[in-house]
């Protein structure tokens, strides 16, 4: 009998492996991916569904605003900076003009302060509504998107009615808010105060926002699948968050009641009654819930501000060509995404010598390598979405 020696050897050497040999795979999430909110790229090394190393790659949207600011005048820069975090464009302008006003030593008229505050809070509401819209979408629920966007549309319409821009209001001027249309004009000078009916329309819109927030709560907070997908996922302890510079609602979700609106004086927030909502565990659910509660607080602030808005001038007396005196200052503000600040170095000219833009999302997503270690691929998306970043705010 002829025995195939090769076959025998092959059979004797082969063994059944009990340990499953798996191969690691590099998954390139982004820069074009439906849920990276723009051009964020994550290089994830995954073993099956579990990622053991995720490295973000940013810079696809770097526009060099810090350099561009050095060749522009102060009024021109507000045009640029409301494109940093474009879902809350208005809020970006505030710390910058406040920084310039600080160097100039200007007192901003009360009415202008109130208008700034109302519009900032409306920008916060619209930004948080975008989060309310996009976050369930990342978990697969499409309908909350439209409920949130519908209300955001209402808020943006009001913003547009005042400023003329939905996303890029460019409404703040050093010393106040945009004073007049054709300001140099000797023939036709139109003051840009709030348009008639704005206060009543805002009051109504705020009520509608509250209704929509209730609906969103029913749709999202009442859903067991959402809870299963977010509770205990992506837990961020407060001390780690602080060390990475994670700020805003993401920090408050970790249980820290810290809000720059309470401790800084860039806008007269001390006149109004509002609370700082905080989370308990710092997980994805808390980050969602804190933002939901913040919408309610912002609505409260807007309602109070509308009731108490004083009349008066819209702008302090400023020279026509603004030259900011020498000096340097750092002004930070509580933006919808977190701490937004400008370190302004002026050399006494029409434009800044150096402008450092501290944007919230940049620090907020620097936590990603830490927080995404060892999570499942669906959780990458859940955590990513819960951090609520905007790529313009990351790359500047």
Binding to other proteins in span 349-388, by CB under 8 A? 349-351, 353-354, 356, 358, 362-363, 366-367, 370, 376-381, 385
Give dist(CA 116, CA 134) in Å, integer: 27
C-beta of 205 vs 367, nearer to other proteins: 367
Q: At its nearest, how many Å lie between other proteins and the CB of residue 353?
A: 6
Closest distance to other proteins from the beta carbon of 278 (Å): 12
Among 24, 47, 160, 207, binds other proteins (CB under 8 A): 160
Contact segment (CB under 8 A) with other proteins among 6-14, 196-204, 279-287, 288-296 equals 196-204
- What are the two backbone dihedrals, phi and then psi, of residue 279, each rounded to the nearest 5 degrees? -95, 180
Please identify which residue in 9, 185, 204, 275 interacts with other proteins, judged by CB under 8 A. 185
306-309: long-range contacts (C-beta < 8 A, 24 or more apart)?
306/118, 306/199, 306/202, 306/203, 308/114, 308/271, 309/111, 309/114, 309/115, 309/118, 309/199
Residue 291 beta carbon to other proteins: minimum distance, rounded to whole angstroms: 17
With respect to other proteins, which residue has the nearer C-beta, 185 or 275? Answer: 185
For other proteins, give the closer residue by CB, 240 or 271: 240
**Are the CB atoms for 21 and 28 separated by under 8 Å?**
no
Count, residues near other proteins per rule CB under 8 A: 144
Place of tokens 């060390």: 243
- Cα dist from 327 to 74, 276, 349, whole Å: 15, 34, 11
Which residues neighbour 162 within 8 Å (Cβ) at sequence distance 6 or greater? 115, 119, 169, 171, 194, 195, 198
Shortest Cβ distance from residue 144 to other proteins (Å)? 9
77-98 in b/e burial notation, b at 16+ Cβ within 10 A? bbebbbbbbbbbbbbbbbbbbb
Q: How far apart are CA 281 and CA 250, in angstroms?
A: 11
Query: Whose Cβ is closer to other proteins: residue 10's or residue 24's?
Result: 24
User: Residue 15 or 105: which CB sits closer to other proteins?
Assistant: 105
Distance CA 69, CA 67 (A): 5
Neighbours of 173 (CB within 10 A): 26
Closer by beta carbon to other proteins, 271 or else 318: 318
Candidates 24, 47, 49, 204: give the one binding other proteins (CB under 8 A): 49
Residue among 380 and 387 whose Cβ is closer to other proteins = 380
Question: Under rule CB under 8 A, which residues in 311-340 are in contact with other proteins?
Answer: 311, 317-332, 339
Minimum CB–partner distance for residue 1 and other proteins (Å): 41
For the segment 241-300, give every residue that binds other proteins (CB under 8 A).
242-247, 251, 256, 258, 260, 262-264
Are the beta carbons of 287 and 253 closer than 8 angstroms? yes
Please give the angle made by the CA atoms of 113, 350 and 187, to the nearest 5 degrees: 65
- Identify the residue among 116, 124, 178, 289 touching other proteins (CB under 8 A): 178
Q: Smallest gap, in angstroms, from Cβ of residue 247 to other proteins?
A: 7
CA distance 242 to 163: 35
- Which of 43, 137, 271, 276 binds other proteins (CB under 8 A)? It is 137
Closest to other proteins by CB, 165 or 313? 165
- Pair 247, 333: CB distance under 8 Å: no
Query: Could you tell me the two tokens for 84?
Result: 């940093």
What minimum distance in Å lies between the beta carbon of 273 and other proteins? 19
Of positions 45, 72, 296, 300, contacts other proteins by CB under 8 A: 72
**Which 8-state DSSP code applies to residue 219?**
I
- 5-44 residues in contact with other proteins (CB under 8 A) are 25, 27-28, 33-35
Shortest CB 8 distance to other proteins, Å = 34
In the complex, minimum distance from the CB of residue 136 to other proteins, in angstroms, rounded to a whole number: 6
Site residues for other proteins, 83-112, by CB under 8 A, read: 83, 102-107
∠377-383-388 over CA atoms, to 5°? 135
């Amino acid at each position: 009998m002829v025995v195939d020696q090769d076959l025998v050897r092959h059979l004797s050497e082969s063994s059944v492996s009990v340990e499953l040999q798996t191969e690691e795979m590099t998954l390139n999430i982004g820069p074009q991916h439906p849920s990276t909110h723009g051009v964020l790229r994550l290089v994830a090394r995954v073993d099956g569904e579990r990622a053991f190393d995720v490295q973000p790659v940013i810079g696809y949207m770097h526009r060099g605003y810090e350099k561009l600011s050095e060749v522009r005048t102060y009024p021109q820069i507000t045009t640029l900076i409301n494109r940093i975090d474009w879902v809350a464009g208005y809020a970006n302008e505030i710390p910058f003009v406040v920084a310039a006003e600080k160097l100039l030593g200007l007192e901003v008229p009360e009415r202008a302060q109130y208008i700034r505050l109302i519009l900032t809070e409306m920008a916060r509401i619209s930004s948080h509504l975008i989060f309310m819209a996009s976050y369930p979408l990342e978990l697969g629920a499409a309908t909350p998107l439209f409920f949130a966007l519908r209300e955001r549309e209402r808020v943006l319409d009001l913003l547009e009615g005042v400023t003329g821009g939905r996303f890029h209001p460019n409404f703040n001027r050093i010393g106040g808010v945009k004073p007049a249309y054709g300001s140099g004009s000797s023939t036709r000078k139109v003051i840009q105060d709030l348009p008639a009916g704005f206060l009543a329309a805002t009051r109504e819109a705020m009520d509608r926002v509250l209704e929509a927030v209730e609906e969103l709560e029913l749709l999202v907070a009442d859903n067991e699948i959402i809870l299963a997908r977010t509770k205990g996922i992506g837990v961020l302890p407060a001390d780690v968050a602080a060390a990475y510079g994670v700020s805003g609602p993401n920090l408050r979700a970790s249980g820290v009641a810290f809000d720059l609106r309470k401790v800084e004086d860039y806008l007269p927030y001390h006149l109004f009654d509002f609370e700082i909502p905080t989370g308990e565990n710092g997980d994805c659910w808390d980050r969602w819930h804190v933002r939901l509660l913040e919408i309610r607080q912002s609505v409260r602030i807007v309602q109070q501000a509308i009731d108490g808005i004083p009349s008066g001038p819209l702008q302090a007396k400023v020279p026509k060509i603004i030259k900011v005196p020498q000096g340097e200052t750092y002004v930070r503000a509580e933006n919808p995404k977190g701490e937004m600040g400008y370190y302004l170095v002026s050399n006494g000219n029409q434009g800044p010598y150096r402008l450092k833009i501290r944007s919230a999302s940049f620090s907020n997503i620097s936590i990603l390598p830490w927080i995404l270690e060892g999570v499942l691929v669906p959780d990458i998306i859940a955590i990513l979405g819960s951090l609520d970043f905007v790529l313009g705010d990351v790359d500047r």
